[in-house]
Amino acid sequence: MSGPPVPTEETHHLIVQLQLGHDGALKALYDQFSGVTFRVCVRMLTSTEDAEEVLQDTFLRLEAQASKYDPMRGTVQTFVLTIAHHLCLERLRTRRSRPQGQPGAFDDAAFDLLARPSSRDPLDQALVEDALRSLPDTDRKLLEDMFFGGYTHAELTARTGLPLGTVKSRLRRALLKLRERTLP
């Protein structure tokens, strides 16, 4: 689904082209980020069908919101994954309000986001795995529940019994530690 990582300058150029309405820019961004975006969606939604729909919606929304991209706030990949994350959360919240069985859903224990897809860079894989292992178990669990389970801070507070401020502090500390360990 995706090729080797594209340098940030090139992806920035692609988002600018998308903002200007150039043909091919959306396809190039899709080719670059669809693989990682799909893996995040599957991990969050546990349904390949839902993940495929959210993947498509992500790139439609990217096209509509390209003008909102700010390179000072993050990379193009972060922008794309943020859109996908929000769409997954919307879908998860809809599911909670209308519970239903998910045919073909993966058993969470059997499905591992960090499973090595053939197009994934082994060095990136090792960095992410190492960074996650370096977190305390409680912090790692909070991150997984928030990003992949779709839980809000308030819901995490209710699930863990921790005060809201503690949940927010642990999540921020964990994210900073991940950033520190995975960014060059």
And the tokens for 160?
């863990």
In a 10 Å sphere around its CB, with 0-12 CB exposed, 13-18 middle and 19+ buried, how is residue 105 labelled?
middle
Q: Where are the domains of the chain?
A: 1-99, 120-184
How many other C-beta atoms lie within 10 A of the C-beta of residue 173? 13
CATH of 120-184, one of 3.40.980.10, 1.10.10.10, 3.40.50.300, 3.30.390.50: 1.10.10.10
Closest CA to 66 of 109, 6, 25: 25
Burial state string for 71-91 with b = 16 or more CB within 10 A and e = fewer than 16: eeeeebbebbbebbbebbbeb
Predicted pLDDT at 54: 94
Predicted pLDDT at 84: 93
Model pTM greater than 0.75?
no
What pLDDT tens digit does each residue of the chain (184 aa) get?
444 444 567 888 899 999 998 889 999 999 999 999 999 898 888 889 999 999 999 999 999 999 999 888 888 988 999 999 999 988 888 877 654 444 444 443 333 443 334 444 555 666 667 777 888 888 888 888 887 777 888 888 888 898 988 888 888 888 888 777 766 5
Print the SS3 string covering 14-54. Answer: HHHHHHCCCCCHHHHHHHHHHHHHHHHHHHHHCCHHHHHHH
For the 1-99 domain, the top CATH level (class) is mainly alpha
Catalogue the E-assigned strands of 54-156: none
Predicted pLDDT at 119: 44
Predicted pLDDT at 184: 57
Predicted pLDDT at 118: 40
Predicted pLDDT at 98: 55
